[in-house]
A and B are shown apart, each in its own frame.
Chain A
Amino acid sequence: GESVGLHLPTLSVQEGDNSIINCAYSNSASDYFIWYKQESGKGPQFIIDIRSNMDKRQGQRVTVLLNKTVKHLSLQIAATQPGDSAVYFCAETLYSGAGSYQLTFGKGTKLSVIP
């Protein structure tokens, strides 16, 4: 079946710089996309989401961009801090019938912040 993937498995960024984490998805019917952050030894934590009818959404220090033409999703983190070091997952949701949605995760990108 179709799945969500990531361009870069690891990313090292200098503290204070901006980070960009990319994700490619293949299912054009997906209607909702989410970015999760997973710190070592913890469960994934919601960061930001975006509906398929939007192309940009901003949060606190984070921005998600959606390009449906090329089926690409990105997460931008401004002024990256050591606490941003984690694995980041993108996920897409697809209606699976009977009022429920299936969440499919990408394999993850590890972000390392260099002090």
Chain B
Amino acid sequence: EAQVTQNPRYLITVTGKKLTVTCSQNMNHEYMSWYRQDPGLGLRQIYYSMNVEVTDKGDVPEGYKVSRKEKRNFPLILESPSPNQTSLYFCASSWSGKSYNEQFFGPGTRLTVL
């Protein structure tokens, strides 16, 4: 089944404890992206990747890191999480970064930073 998977789905952590949220897609997509979703603010892009070893900042990159060493994986790294990073995170992928390519979203990761 073609899909985007994220792990973990739910995570509660404490301020300053490094964490990684994994994202994997099995559709051979070139483009991958991370979003956070907050009430009243909608979905905002954190980082995106046009292809392997190519990443770029989205609208809200502060406090996050990403890497794209393999085509299928695009982990989101929080080196020192803070409470304002409590949010619902979505990973997405598409064939390319062109506007007309449909983005497929993962199921989401609910992160709480205490």
Mostly, the A contact residues are: strand
Contacts of B40 on A, CB cut-off 8 Å?
A: 107
Q: Which residue of B lies closest to A4 (CB)?
A: B42
Neighbour of A43 across the interface among B50, B56, B105, CB < 8 A? B105
Contacts of B61 on A, CB cut-off 8 Å?
A: none
Whether the pair B43, A100 counts as a contact (CB closer than 8 A) is no
Instruction: Check A45 for interface membership: any CB of B closer than 8 A.
Output: yes
Interface residues in B85-114 (C-beta closer than 8 Å to A): 90, 92, 97-100, 102-108
Interface residues on B, range: 20 to 34
Whether the pair B99, A32 counts as a contact (CB closer than 8 A) is yes
- For residue B96, give the distance in angstroms from its CB to the closest CB of chain A: 8
A1 to B43, CA, bound (A): 15
Query: With A46-B103, A89-B42, A106-B42 in contact, is A101–B97 under 8 Å at CB?
Result: yes
Spell out A's residues near B (CB within 8 Å): 31-32, 34, 41-46, 49, 51, 89, 91, 93, 95, 98-108
8 new A-B pairs (CB below 8 Å) besides A46-B103, A102-B45, A103-B45? A32-B99, A42-B107, A43-B106, A89-B43, A104-B45, A105-B35, A105-B44, A107-B42
